[in-house]
C-alpha cells in the first residue's frame, strides 16, 4: 500500500500497490464491466453458470459412468497406474478442474509456478481421455466401440470440468475486483485514470503569480 498525504487537511490517503493496480486494469480490460451494477450482474452470472456446469457434470458422471451398464468398467485396464474406468473419470475431472484454476491464476497474476503446475495436470488428463480409444485400437482388452464410447464420455468430463472451473475463477476475480473498487473508492472503469484523478493536484508557480497579481489589482 502507498500512503499519500493530502496537503490541505493533513490526512493520508491509502492507495493500492502497483501490482494490484495492474491486476485490476487487466481485469477491467478482460471483463469490461458497465459500472458497479454491471459488475455485480456479471459476477452473479459467472458464479451461477459455474455452479450449474459443475452440478451438471456431476450428474453426467453419475449417469454415464457409475450408472452405466458397462460390465468391464471396474476392470483395471488402463496403462497408467492400472485405474478402473470409474476412477479414471474422477481423476480426469479433478485434473481438468485444477488445471483450469492454476492456469487462470498464472495468467492473471503473472506467476510461472501455477502455470507450471497446470501443464502436467492438463497433459495427463488428455492422456487419460484418449487412452481407452488407443487401448481398443491396439489391444484386445477393449473393443474399438467400447474405447470410443469411453473416450467420448471422458472428453465431455474434461471439457465440463475445465469450463466450469474457468467460470468459477472468473467469478472469483470479479469478487476481487469489486472488493478492490469498494475498498479504494473507485468506480469500475479505468483504474489508472481513477488513481490520477484521486492524486492531489499541486498548483504551479505561474498560477500562483497570476493569483497574486489579481489580488493586487
Beta bridge pairs of residue 209: none
Mean pLDDT of 64-68: 81
State pLDDT tens for residues 115-172: 999 999 999 999 999 998 888 888 877 888 888 999 999 999 999 999 999 999 999 9
Looking at the chain, the whole-number percentage of residues with pLDDT higher than 70 is 71
Mean pLDDT of 30-49: 87
Distance CA 54, CA 115 (A): 22
pLDDT grade for 38, boundaries at 50, 70 and 90? confident
Distance CA 54, CA 166 (A): 11
Distance of alpha carbon 105 from the chain centroid? 6
With a cut of 50, say whether residue 55 has pLDDT above it.
yes
Mean pLDDT of 191-197: 53
Q: What is the pLDDT of residue 25?
A: 84
With a cut of 50, say whether residue 213 has pLDDT above it.
no
Q: What is the pLDDT of residue 198?
A: 57
Q: Which of 67, 110, 109 is nearest to 86 (CA)?
A: 67
Q: What is the pLDDT of residue 36?
A: 77
Mean pLDDT of 46-60: 96
Q: What is the DSSP letter of 84?
A: -
Give 138 or 17, the one with higher predicted confidence: 138
Q: What is the pLDDT of residue 80?
A: 63
In this structure, of 22-31, 153-162, 185-194, 208-217, the range with the lowest mean pLDDT score is 208-217
With a cut of 80, say whether residue 5 has pLDDT above it.
no
Q: Write down the mean pLDDT value for the chain.
A: 79
pLDDT grade for 40, boundaries at 50, 70 and 90? confident
pLDDT grade for 194, boundaries at 50, 70 and 90? low
Helices marked H in the chain: 18-31, 35-61, 85-109, 112-138, 144-184, 191-198, 205-216
Q: What is the DSSP letter of 15?
A: E
Give 51 or 140, the one with higher predicted confidence: 51
Amino acid at each position: 500500500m502507498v500512503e499519500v498525504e493530502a496537503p490541505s487537511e493533513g490526512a493520508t490517503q491509502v492507495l493500492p500497490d502497483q501490482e494490484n493496480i495492474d491486476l485490476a486494469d487487466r481485469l477491467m480490460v478482460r471483463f469490461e464491466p458497465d459500472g458497479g451494477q454491471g459488475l455485480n450482474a456479471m459476477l452473479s452470472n459467472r458464479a451461477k453458470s459455474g455452479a450449474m456446469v459443475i452440478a451438471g457434470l456431476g450428474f453426467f458422471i453419475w449417469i454415464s459412468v457409475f450408472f452405466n451398464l458397462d460390465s468391464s468398467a471396474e476392470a483395471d485396464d488402463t496403462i497408467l497406474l492400472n485405474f478402473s474406468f470409474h476412477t479414471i473419470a474422477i481423476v480426469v475431472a479433478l485434473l481438468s478442474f485444477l488445471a483450469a484454476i492454476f492456469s487462470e491464476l498464472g495468467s492473471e497474476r503473472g506467476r510461472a509456478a501455477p502455470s507450471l503446475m497446470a501443464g502436467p495436470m492438463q497433459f495427463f488428463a488428455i492422456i487419460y481421455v484418449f487412452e481407452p480409444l488407443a487401448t481398443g485400437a491396439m489391444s484386445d482388452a477393449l473393443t474399438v466401440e467400447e474405447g470410443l464410447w469411453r473416450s467420448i464420455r471422458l472428453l465431455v468430463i474434461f471439457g465440463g470440468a475445465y469450463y466450469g472451473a474457468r467460470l468459477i475463477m472468473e467469478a472469483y476475480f470479479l469478487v476481487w475486483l469489486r472488493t478492490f473498487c469498494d475498498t479504494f473508492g473507485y468506480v469500475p472503469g479505468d483504474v489508472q485514470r481513477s488513481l490520477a484523478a484521486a492524486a492531489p493536484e499541486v498548483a504551479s508557480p505561474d498560477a500562483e503569480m497570476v493569483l497574486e497579481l489579481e489580488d493586487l489589482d
